[in-house]
Amino acid sequence: MTALYIVIAVLVFGVIIIIHEAGHFTAAKLCGVKVNEFSLGMGPRLFGFGRGETKYSVRLLPIGGYVSMEGEDSESVDPRAFGQKPVWQRLIIVCAGALMNLILGFVILIIATSFEDGVTTTKVAGFYADDSPSHVSGLEVGDEIIRVNGMRVFCDTDISYQFQLDSDRVFEMTVIRNGEKLTLPAVTFDGRTDEEGAQSLVIDFYVLGEKVSPFTVVSYSVRKFVSVARIIWLSLFDLLRGRYTINDLSGPVGIVNEIGSVVGSTAQGVSVGEMLLNLMSFVVFITINVGIFNLLPIPALDGARAFFLLIELVRRKPMKPEVEGTVHFVGLMLLFGLMIVVTVFDILKLF
């Protein structure tokens, strides 16, 4: 990893964090909550300034950030305290950060798609050979793939996702052919063996590209957004089911390494424009991941705070701030512990 890759990674993390915390900050201000501090980063304070009632800080570790609101984790009689606001306003404030990450992902998707040569569809445009196994086993030119192994296909990413889960190189595909829905029970593909003896699937067809226009860009961006969000959810469930292990997770070191691979691809003949598009696609995945992960009901995350607020809404009585604060503190320590373990595995992968 070079210094350039680290700088780019810090910038990427910085933008995602700023957008997330700006969501909390803006929602809090609109709801009349007093914001004591807006912090980018964690740990010791490096520098900052004050404006009005709010301090703005940059801290040593670029792994997060926070918006400190009056009465957020302790009781406060200030009428502008977080805890004095109605539950619905507090829910908006708590969820606004994750929502901004999701919006950022969608905006980047629109920008990246606008600069593509064409908008990718799921309609088969042709085969690399007349005897391509997928063609021989039933796939035809003009088929619009709408399901693979029972999963609804929103865009090309969903097809690739199902191919990555392959175990036998045989897939059930549902297609639209000449206006009719058909199910192809066993579309097959060849495989290849790499130098380490691992098998991979050979995709022997290519899909049609549509002309770039405002309609096709927005339509594809919506479908791509839904696809990425669903894949992230499915991956989380796969992790819980044991399909993936902690060794498959990536922390800051792993992400820097991936960014380095994308940026460094120009040395392998990839154009700067294509590299930037690939980088934007990677950032889309990260920011949507951050948005979804933060909505999970895990202590210290926004989702857990929203969960406590929903409990308050049902029982019409708030949890004691000290109790909720303790729960979030324990969760934060556990998350830090997980991050340390994941970072160790990331470093081991480099050697």
Class of domain 119-210: mainly beta
Give the model confidence (pLDDT) of 282-304 as tens digits.
899 999 999 999 999 988 889 99
Tell me which H or E stretch contains 256.
Answer: helix 252-263
Residue with the bigger pLDDT between 92 and 191: it is 92
Question: What is the per-residue pLDDT for 64?
Answer: 80
Question: What is the per-residue pLDDT for 333?
Answer: 87
Please name the amino acid found at residue 284: V
**What mean pLDDT comes out for the span 108-135?**
93
**What mean pLDDT comes out for the span 167-193?**
91
Question: What is the per-residue pLDDT for 267?
Answer: 67
Residues acting as catalytic residues: 21
Give the model confidence (pLDDT) of 320-329 as tens digits.
777 888 888 8
Question: What is the per-residue pLDDT for 240?
Answer: 79
Residue 153 token pair? 């296909």
Could you tell me which residues come within 8 angstroms of residue 343 by beta carbon, excluding any fewer than 6 positions away? 251, 252, 253
Pairing of strands 35-51, 190-193: unpaired
Q: Determine the 3-state secondary structure of 69 from DSSP.
A: strand
Other CB atoms within a 10 A radius of the CB of residue 25 amount to 22
Q: Mean pLDDT highest for which of 8-17, 143-152, 261-270, 308-317?
A: 143-152
pLDDT at residue 197 tops 70: no
pLDDT at residue 44 tops 80: yes
pLDDT at residue 21 tops 90: yes
**What mean pLDDT comes out for the span 86-102?**
95
pLDDT at residue 11 tops 80: yes
pLDDT at residue 1 tops 80: no
- Give the single-character DSSP code of 297: -
pLDDT at residue 32 tops 90: yes
**Span(s) in the chain for CATH 2.30.42.10:** 119-210
Question: What is the per-residue pLDDT for 195?
Answer: 60
pLDDT at residue 349 tops 90: no
